[in-house]
């Protein structure tokens, strides 16, 4: 081993790439309250966490049994990089059945989770310096993912007064210089499910300006109001749309890291080449378990979604019983976006004060972008009784704060 008299200074002189050091954009991002809640919990305080999108149930035993059987049968070596034939076929069939768009295994790349699918989609569609539009409020990794692919992320606000549905006029302002539009419905963090009119607007903008559409549909099985519509199914859209899917949310398989990208065969072939040089595929026993799970159809998906449906109903009932906090339409996904502007606090101020006063942790809206300022995102991810207790405390806290702002 070589030793250097001034080894430390040599290490300090080494610089990481700008691509990686600029990935997250820097600055405080409103996640401080999350880390503070984690520290309080680790110190033994009874904090109820309604923060990240992780189920309070685990992967179903029959899926685990399929995983175990596949591993014991020897599917522990390198798996096929694009995904096993069986899983690519199962995903293609699921998409074709649910959307009516002809889809074959050649349109599918299996990825280690939706996040790797988002990254692959960004890499496949962006050249360095290309502008990539994304809707604000947004899932936290979007700007970094677009930046990692060399893109310049450009937020397009979807405002509370429009029920967090993006507007054609806002998209049209920024679309002429862009290469990609990234959308997400059902939406994290807002709970919006884009309606037919919004999707028609999105399709119109990307067609008029010749953009790629990346459609993140990882919450497609969690729809409480309206229906999930995939923009890939709109006329002319299959050629310019990459759909990102995942079994994290639909089958409570967050830790198994299993998802996909669906798109035109030519670009999927190029993305397989990217996978060869990055992930080298997904473990075969995980893919076999996923194939088994998809073979069970919608019943297990409904079972995984059911607790969120119940807690959404609890939220609607409790919010209807007061007039300080307003809920954005809770149409889908495992979150409620609550407007707390009547308390006079910012989302961040509210979340911090709530954590101190009530030991309830929620995410400040600001951590998901400027358009969610004055809101907090509540994850519907603890058991019903604890959830009702925590939400009750949040609403009483808000009422007390609003009283302090306006004695009337």
In the complex with ligand PMP, the residue whose CB is nearer, 218 or 319, is: 218
Decide whether 216 or 348 has the Cβ nearer to ligand PMP: 216
CA 399 to chain centre: 31
Residue 183 and residue 137 in contact, taking contact as beta carbons nearer than 8 Å: no
Cα gap 73→146, rounded to integer Å? 39
CA distance linking residue 249 with residue 245, whole number of Å = 10
Minimum CB separation of residue 140 from ligand PMP in Å reads 8
98, two tokens: 């649910």
CB 368 within 8 Å of CB 138: yes
Shortest distance, position 42 Cβ to ligand PMP, whole Å: 22
Residues that bind ligand PMP (CB under 6 A): 53, 113-115, 139, 184, 188, 216, 218, 246, 248, 254, 259
Our CB check for ligand PMP shows the closer of 292 and 335 to be 335
Q: What angle do CA 156, 160, 162 make, to 5 degrees?
A: 80
18: Cα within 13 Å, side-chain hemisphere: 2
Least Å distance between CB 158 and ligand PMP? 14
HSE, side-chain direction, 13 A CA sphere, residue 283: 12
Question: Min. distance of Cβ 143 from ligand PMP in angstroms?
Answer: 13
Strand partners, 212: 180
Q: How far is the CB of 406 from ligand PMP (least distance, A)?
A: 36
Least gap, CB of 279 to ligand PMP (angstroms) = 12
Instruction: Tell the smallest beta-carbon distance from residue 245 to ligand PMP (Å).
Output: 8
Cross-strand partners of 205: none
Q: With respect to ligand PMP, which residue has the nearer C-beta, 205 or 218?
A: 218
CA 370 to chain centre: 17
Residue among 221 and 343 whose Cβ is closer to ligand PMP: 221
- How far is 113 from 290, CA to CA, in rounded Å? 12
> Smaller CB distance to ligand PMP: residue 243 or 324?
243
Report the residue number, 337 or 402, with the smaller CB distance to ligand PMP.
337
User: Rounded to an integer, what distance in angstroms lies between the CA atom of residue 299 and that of residue 63?
Assistant: 13
């Amino acid at each position: 081993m070589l030793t250097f008299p001034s080894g430390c200074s040599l290490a300090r002189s080494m610089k990481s790439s700008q691509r990686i050091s600029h990935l997250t954009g820097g600055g405080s991002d409103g996640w401080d309250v999350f880390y503070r809640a984690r520290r309080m919990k680790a110190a033994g305080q009874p904090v109820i966490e309604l923060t990240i999108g992780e189920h309070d149930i685990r992967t179903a035993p029959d899926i685990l049994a399929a995983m175990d059987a596949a591993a014991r049968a020897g599917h522990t070596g390198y798996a096929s990089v694009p995904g096993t034939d069986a899983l690519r076929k199962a995903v293609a069939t699921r998409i074709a059945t649910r959307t009516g768009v002809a889809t074959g295994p050649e349109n599918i790349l299996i990825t280690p989770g939706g996040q790797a699918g988002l990254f692959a989609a960004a890499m496949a569609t962006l050249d360095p310096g290309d502008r990539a539009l994304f809707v604000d409020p947004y899932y936290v990794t979007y700007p970094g993912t677009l930046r990692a692919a060399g893109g310049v992320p450009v937020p397009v606000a979807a405002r509370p007064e429009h029920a967090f549905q993006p507007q054609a006029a806002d998209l049209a302002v920024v679309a002429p210089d862009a290469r990609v539009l990234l959308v997400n419905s059902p939406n994290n963090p807002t709970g919006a499910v884009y309606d037919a009119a919004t999707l028609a607007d999105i399709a119109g903008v990307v067609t008029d300006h010749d953009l790629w559409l990346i459609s993140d549909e990882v919450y497609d099985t969690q729809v409480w109001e309206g229906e999930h519509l995939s923009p890939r199914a709109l006329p002319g859209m299959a050629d310019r749309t990459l759909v990102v899917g995942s079994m994290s949310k639909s089958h409570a398989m967050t830790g198994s890291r299993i998802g996909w990208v669906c798109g035109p065969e030519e670009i999927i072939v190029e993305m397989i080449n990217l996978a060869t040089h990055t992930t080298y595929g997904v473990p075969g026993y995980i893919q076999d378990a996923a194939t088994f799970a998809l073979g069970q159809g919608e019943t297990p998906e409904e079972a995984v979604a059911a607790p969120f449906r119940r807690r959404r109903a609890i939220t609607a009932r409790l919010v209807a019983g007061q007039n300080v906090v307003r809920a954005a339409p809770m149409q889908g996904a495992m979150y409620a976006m609550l407007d707390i502007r009547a308390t006079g606090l910012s989302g961040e101020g509210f979340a911090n004060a709530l954590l101190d006063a009530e030991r309830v942790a929620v995410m400040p809206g600001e951590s998901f972008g400027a358009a969610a300022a004055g809101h907090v995102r509540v994850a519907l991810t603890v058991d019903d009784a604890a959830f009702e207790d925590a939400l009750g405390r949040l609403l009483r806290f808000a009422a007390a704060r609003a009283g302090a702002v306006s004695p009337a």
